């Protein structure tokens, strides 16, 4: 089964986002995504953080904020 996205934090421009998700085994993770307005291919992963494992969504979010530079600008 696919992980369940708990929250998605998006840039004001709407071209990047970070999803915080929960896996079937109870662990959490995050991934950074990008989409190009001129493309119809939708969102694609650019951070390659999805394999990292965290015990809580809060820990995953904290690590995402530390690793994804643009998240420092998002409150």
User: What is the pLDDT, as a whole number, of residue 36?
Assistant: 85
Q: Reduced to 3 states, what is the DSSP secondary structure of residue 24?
A: coil
How many domains is the chain partitioned into structurally? 1
Q: What tokens appear for 53 in the block?
A: 């494992």
Task: Read off the pLDDT of residues 44-73 as tens digits, 9 standing for 90 and up.
Answer: 899 899 999 999 999 999 999 999 999 988
Rg (CA), the chain: 12
Task: State the pLDDT at residue 1.
Answer: 84
Question: Pick from 6, 24, 16: which is nearest to 68 by CA?
Answer: 16
Q: Name the residue range of residue 69's domain.
A: 4-73
Q: What is the pTM for the complete model shown?
A: 0.90
Q: Counting beta carbons within 10 angstroms of the beta carbon of residue 40, is it exposed (0 to 12), middle (13 to 18) or buried (19 or more)?
A: exposed
């Amino acid at each position: 089964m696919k992980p369940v996205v708990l929250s998605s934090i998006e840039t004001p421009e709407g071209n990047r986002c970070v999803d915080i998700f929960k896996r079937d085994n109870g662990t959490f993770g995050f991934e950074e995504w990008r989409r190009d307005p001129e493309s119809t291919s939708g969102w694609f992963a650019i951070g390659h953080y999805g394999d990292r494992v965290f015990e809580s969504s809060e820990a995953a979010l904290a690590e995402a904020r530390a690793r994804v530079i643009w998240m420092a600008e998002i409150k």
